[in-house]
């Protein structure tokens, strides 16, 4: 029986060779002028591409514009320059707090007794009073909406015992998020030589906050909060100017200048703009707005593939199954200039001669996306199932097929 299969394989290969010869002869028989006519008859003239202006040039010390879903950087200046973050620090403070809530170590209804240190903390306040008991939810709103330094310290002490211990938690999460040029020594953003971030790291932190805690993130869009009969407004004036803006945070100290990180979503596309070290509240708002408008006007984000979507399949040798389906683990987004979608090119590369055993999730190839010949994104292709090794006869049969294939060319059928 094995001999018959081998003979069939050889006949099959010979048949393919004959068909190839016939095809080549047919091409040679066609006049060159006819091929030229067919090519010219299908050529189309593409419309002129929309001119792509340069990104806005801002006077800020550093800035960064990034698409939330694809991670594509649309504009930047001194993105890795270490700067004083001022109250933008509170994004990391809230990230730690939200993680405590997520892990069940903290509840919004928990009550915190306000220390004298929290009460005395200088800078912006929600006006909590020493010795009073305040709910965690009110403290979070006081920190997020009113930018209360007193609320930030109260939260830090409630969670970690001291603000110094809480800062260690902040640095732990910063490392986990890949914020390689950031370091925190307090929960408020009050100036300290060892307290710094970068515009790029702020975008990373903002992305994580939105992606991991969408319910809690909604507090960043609230325009005002009243506590102890004192009503205060959110300092992010973009919330009033641009209805697509739903967060994040402002900051200001003499050392930091005026800073703002803002996020906006229009027609399903979310952008993050970070502006550090401007000379006025008006300038930080105008600069962030200019970057957001530029990004939305000239770029568009496309979702190319779903998570766990089958992309292709491949032949497997010496396995109980002859084929394996391949997918990607996460959604695949690209951000490109508007009107360029039809110029995208996707390519799949499979590792040669895949052999069992194969484990689900094992990387077996790569999916690449190109624009004008330049790679703009890639994802590993992963096995969608396990494939166990075949028995002795199955492995032997595939070994013979591979050997014959080496003699006559590609052995895939």
Q: Which residues on neighbouring strands pair with residue 378, listed in sequence order?
A: 368
pLDDT of residue 401: 56
Three-class SS state of 325: strand
Q: Cα–Cα distance between 21 and 152 in angstroms, integer?
A: 78
147 catalytic? Reply is yes
CATH 3.40.710.10 in the chain, residue ranges: 62-298
Indicate if the alpha-carbon torsion angle 65, 71, 74, 78 is positive or negative. Answer: positive
Q: Note whether 101 and 201 are within 8 A (CB).
A: no
Mutual angle of helices 163-177 and 90-102, in 10-degree steps: 90
Three-class SS state of 378: strand
User: What is the number of alpha carbons within 13 Å of residue 333 lying toward its C-beta?
Assistant: 16
What would you measure as the largest C-alpha separation in the chain, in angstroms? 96
Q: Cα–Cα distance between 273 and 75 in angstroms, integer?
A: 9
DSSP string covering 107-163: -TT-EEEPPHHHHH--SS-----TT-EEEHHHHHHHHHTT--HHHHHHHHHHHHSSH
306-405: CATH topology is Peptidoglycan synthesis regulatory factor (PBP3), Domain 2 (2.60.410)
pLDDT of residue 45: 43
pLDDT of residue 405: 53
Catalytic residue among 70, 87, 112, 206: 87
Parts of the chain with a pLDDT under 70:
1-50, 390-413
CATH code of domain 62-298: 3.40.710.10
90 catalytic? Reply is yes
Catalytic residue among 13, 61, 77, 90: 90
The pTM of this model reads 0.82
pLDDT of residue 370: 96
pLDDT of residue 356: 79
pLDDT of residue 27: 34
Q: Note whether 242 and 264 are within 8 A (CB).
A: yes
Catalytic residue among 70, 112, 147, 263: 147
CATH 2.60.410.10 in the chain, residue ranges: 306-405
Indicate if the alpha-carbon torsion angle 174, 178, 179, 181 is positive or negative. Answer: positive
Q: How far is CA 21 from the centre of its chain?
A: 50
Q: Cα–Cα distance between 393 and 51 in angstroms, integer?
A: 63
pLDDT of residue 334: 97
> How many CB atoms are located within 10 Å of the residue 320 CB?
14
41 catalytic? Reply is no
């Amino acid at each position: 029986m094995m001999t018959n299969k081998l003979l069939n394989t050889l006949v099959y290969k010979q048949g393919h060779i004959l068909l190839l010869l016939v095809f080549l002869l047919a091409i040679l028989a066609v006049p060159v002028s006819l091929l030229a006519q067919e090519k010219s008859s299908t050529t189309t003239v593409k419309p002129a591409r929309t001119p792509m202006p340069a990104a806005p040039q801002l006077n800020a010390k550093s800035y960064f514009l990034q698409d939330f879903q694809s991670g594509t950087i649309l504009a930047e200046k001194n993105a890795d320059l270490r700067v004083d973050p001022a109250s933008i620090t509170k994004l990391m403070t809230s990230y730690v707090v939200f993680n405590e809530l997520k892990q069940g170590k903290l509840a919004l209804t928990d009550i915190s007794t306000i220390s004298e240190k929290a009460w005395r903390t200088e800078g912006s306040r929600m006006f909590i009073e020493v010795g009073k008991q305040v709910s965690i939810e009110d403290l979070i709103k006081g920190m997020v909406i009113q930018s209360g330094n007193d609320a930030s310290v109260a939260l830090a002490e409630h969670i970690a015992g001291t603000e110094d211990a809480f800062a260690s938690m902040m640095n732990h999460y910063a490392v986990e998020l890949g914020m390689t040029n950031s370091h925190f020594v307090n929960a408020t953003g009050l100036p300290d030589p060892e307290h710094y971030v970068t515009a790029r790291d702020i975008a990373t932190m903002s992305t994580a906050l939105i992606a991991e805690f969408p319910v809690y993130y909604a507090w960043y869009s609230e325009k005002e909060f009243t506590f102890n009969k004192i009503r205060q407004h959110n300092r992010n004036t973009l919330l009033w100017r641009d209805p697509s803006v739903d967060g994040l945070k402002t900051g200001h100290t003499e050392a930091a200048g005026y800073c703002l990180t803002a996020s906006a979503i229009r027609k399903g596309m979310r952008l993050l703009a970070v502006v550090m070290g401007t000379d006025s509240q008006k300038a930080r708002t105008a600069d962030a707005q200019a970057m957001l408008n530029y990004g939305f006007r000239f770029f568009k984000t496309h979702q190319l593939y779903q998570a766990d979507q089958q992309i292709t399949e491949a032949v497997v040798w010496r396995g109980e199954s002859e084929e394996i389906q391949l997918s990607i683990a996460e959604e695949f987004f690209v951000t490109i200039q508007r009107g360029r979608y039809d110029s995208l090119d996707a390519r799949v590369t499979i590792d040669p001669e895949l052999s069992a055993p194969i484990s689900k999730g094992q990387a077996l190839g790569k999916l690449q996306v190109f624009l004008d010949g330049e790679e703009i994104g890639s994802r590993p292709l992963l096995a969608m199932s396990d494939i166990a090794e075949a028995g002795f006869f199955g492995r032997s049969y595939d070994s013979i097929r591979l050997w014959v294939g080496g003699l006559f060319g590609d052995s895939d059928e």
